[in-house]
Every structure is written in C-alpha cells, then in structure tokens.
Amino acid sequence: MSALEKNAPQKSDLLPESLRDDFPILSGDVLDGHPLVFLDNAASTQRPRQVIDAICRVYERDYSNVHRGIHTLSERSTEQYEQAREKVRALIGAEHVEEIVFTQGTTASINLVAQSWGGANLKPGDEILLTAMEHHSNLVPWQQIASKTGAVLRHVPITETGLLDIATLDQLLGPRTRLVALTSVSNTLGTINPISTIAAQAHAVGALVLVDAAQSVPHQPTNVRTMGADFMAFSGHKMLGPSGIGVLYGKRELLDAMPPFMGGGSMIQEVGLESFTPAALPAKFEAGTPPIVPAIAMSAAIDYLSGIGLDAIHRHQQALVKRAYQGLSQITGLRILGPAPEHRAGLVSFAFEKIHAHEFAQVLNDQFGVAVRAGHHCTQPLHATLGITASTRASFYLYNRLADIDRLLEGVAAVQAKFAPQGRRRKARGG
C-alpha cells in the first residue's frame, strides 16, 4: 500500500461526486481534449445551475429597480433583494438584518470601513494592527487612510511554519491600537487564523476587529458573534454567487455612528440644495442602484451551500488538502508554503526554485487540464517575507474530487521531472 493510499481520507469525509452535475462548466468543453480540473477556487468559484437559473428567473419575471417603485415588479425585486439580506444575516449569525450592507465585494467593504470609520475616528499616532499575510485589499485601504490621518500601521509577523505569531500580540497591542484588521484564512498560505482568540485580546485593549473573511465564509460555518468580529467582509463570487456583490457586516452601533461613504440616491432621508440627512441603516451605505440581481443570486448560492452544509463542505476540503499536501511533500525540490494540513483551509501554494510559477501553471493547464493560479496572489509583502516573488496555488471547493488532486500531483511531478530532473530532494517546509 502506498503512503498516499494509507493516508487516504475516509469516504465519509467526502461529498458525493453527483453534485458536480449541478455545475455545467465542469462537464463543458473548456479545454480541447482534457477534462477540466478546476483548482482556482480561491480566485473565484464556478456557479451551479440553481444560481444560473435564479439569475435568469429574476430577469425574465421579476426585474425592476428596488426601493423606488410601487409597481409590481419593483415590489418583487425589492422583496427578493431584502430576503437576500436576511439570508446573509442568518448565514453569518448577525443579530440584526440592518447590520448587513451589500457592497461590490470584499475590497469595497474594507474600503468602506477604512474611509468612513477610519476617516472619522483615526488621529495621528493611532495604530492599526494588520498582519504579514494580508491580501492587498486589507493593506492598501489602511495605507491610504493612515497617510491621510497620520495613523500608524503595525503588522503581526508569521512564524517559520506559516502561522500568525500570536506571541507578539502582547507587544503589538496597546492603548493606541484602534483596530485590528486581519484575514480569517490566508489566500496564499491557507492558514486558518484563531480569530476569536485574537479578537478577545484586541477588545481587551479597546480596539475593534475587522475580519477579511473572503476565504472563510464560503468554506466553513461562520458566526460573527462567537468570532468577535466588529466588522467582516466577504464576496459573493467566491461562494458560488456572481461577481459584483459582496457583504460588509458591521455592528449596528458602529455603522450607525459612521458617516456615509458615498453620496447619491437611496442613501438619503431628505435632501436640500445645501445639505442632506442620511437614511437609516443599511441604506445609508448603499448609494445608487445596488447590485440587485447579484444579491438575489447570491442568496440562491447561500441556499445551495446551506443545503449541503458548511460543516460537510469544510470536511470535504480538509480531506482534499490533506491528500494534496502529502502528495506535494513527496516531490523533489518543491517548497510548500504555509502550515501542516490541520492548520490550513482547502488550498496549497508551492514554489519550485528552478521553475517559474507561470511556467508551472501554463504546463498544468495545457498538458493536464489543471487550472491553478500563479503569481503573487495579491500578497506581495507576504511573498517578500518568504523570500520569493511568485508561487503556484491550487485551491479547492466542494465539487473537487480526490481524482482532481491526483491529476494535479501527476502534473506537478511531470513538470518537475521535465524541468529539473537533477533537482535535489528538499523537505517541504512552511512559511
């Protein structure tokens, strides 16, 4: 029995393969002669027929602008748009439905908090604590507001094994810390961060906590209250929904006290020629015509995910990532970034000294039908910390199978053998 077979996940950890039938693109003719192995889910996921149908249904039967008309179609659209908000509330365990603001995505949500809350509250010398593993979307908005307000950015480092070095929190958190903004799952290392522990420490010094949950809400059960999140951001397109829709969760009293981010229609109660009064939550933060159909379709995606169960989806991906990690660890000269499988979500990034990540991804696509992402994955500072400029990333979702992982391993081994037949064996390591 091979090492892979010995460590094979229990069948019960895996979801039934039949759910793939719900995803037309997986059986479509994407690549000439190769069945598609889609392992780029951290970038964006595919959509099931149920979500595609929801989009068609709204446009064919129910579509109009929301919150504006008293005619039937406007009422129908408004009702479905607001039902989507309630569905999001339930998904993340928020207390009040008005704590759910629809945005364009994670990036837009974080920018909203940085500009609105940050602009109103940050003073010179105030500190914002980020981490070394943040996506650019949770770095640049803070850099921008820090340079406007005189606030100072600090960063939690990572350990050799690719975990957050939470032992440093005692020194990094202090009376000047106003906000800790961090990712729940690293899109490059796969690390699952201990958000509730960090949030408790942040709250103990009076700081707020913003969670970038782009890579966790789609993959595991989430509860903003047990997590200790004051703000949380995520995107619809990473959870089987359309692009152009995302969510900002914020505690009601915080959102209430924040000034509107954008001005325009819908976000006002009353407007005069010289001034306006903002609308109540959540409309205050939804200026202009919102992403109506994307919100309704995201709600269909939530129904789909809830029908399968986020616990089961998480277990499925744990089984896949374990297999991928073990297989990649056997490949000569390959460096796996990030921690052991028990600390990571369903993705693995790796680097190979002698082959550029783009070359790797190209061959995997062209010769093996395996779609992965190559580059810095919008985490340039993290890559610099790791001493590299790029990596190759395979990221999984509910429709991936063990056979997909095996195809990836087959492709990686073949590329390695082709480009670096003399490569010396190196132990896989984190960080």
Residues catalogued as catalytic: 378
Looking at the DSSP bridge assignments, the partners of residue 155 are 130
Among 43, 140, 153, 402, binds ligand C6P (CB under 6 A): 43
Q: In the set 46, 111, 215, 416, which binds ligand C6P (CB under 6 A)?
A: 215
| Residue numbers 180-199 binding ligand C6P by CB under 6 A | 183, 187
CB nearer to ligand C6P: pick between 14 and 293: 293
Per-residue CA distances from 368 to 4, 21, 339, 413 (Å): 20, 21, 27, 11
Question: From the CB of residue 33, how many other CB atoms can be counted at a distance below 10 Å?
Answer: 6
Rule CB under 6 A: choose which of 377, 386, 394, 416 binds ligand C6P: 377
Looking at residue 62, its amino acid is D
How would you label 321-344 residue by residue, b for 16+ Cβ within 10 Å and e otherwise? bbbbbbbbbebebbbbbbbebebb
Are β-strands 208-212 and 177-183 bridged in parallel, bridged antiparallel, or unpaired?
Answer: parallel
Taking CB under 6 A as the criterion, the residue among 98, 126, 127, 212 binding ligand C6P is 212
Which of 348, 299, 248, 285 is closest to 84 using CA atoms? 299
Told to check if 80 binds ligand C6P by CB under 6 A, we report: no
With CB under 6 A as the contact rule, the residue among 137, 222, 299, 365 that binds ligand C6P is 137
Stretch that binds ligand C6P, among 99-107, 312-320, 409-417, 422-430 (CB under 6 A): 99-107
Binding residues with ligand C6P: total (CB under 6 A):
17
Sign of CA dihedral 418, 424, 425, 430: negative
For the CB of residue 41, give the shortest distance to ligand C6P in the complex, in Å: 9
- 192 vs 279, beta carbon nearer ligand C6P: 192
Per the listing, tokens 């492709």 go with 411
What does the block give as tokens for 116?
């609105």
Distance CA 57, CA 52 (A): 9
DSSP string, 361-413: HHHHHHHH-EE-EEE-TT-HHHHHHHT-S-EEEEE--TT--HHHHHHHHHHHH
Q: Which segment (71-79, 134-142, 294-302, 406-414) binds ligand C6P by CB under 6 A? A: 134-142
Which of 15, 42, 112, 398 is in the footprint of ligand C6P by CB under 6 A?
Answer: 42
Point out which span in 66-74, 210-218, 280-288, 289-297 binds ligand C6P (CB under 6 A): 210-218
131 binds ligand C6P (CB under 6 A): no
Which residues in the 219-258 window bind ligand C6P by CB under 6 A? 235
Residues near ligand C6P, by CB under 6 A: 42-43, 105-107, 135, 137-138, 183, 187, 212, 214-215, 235, 373, 377-378
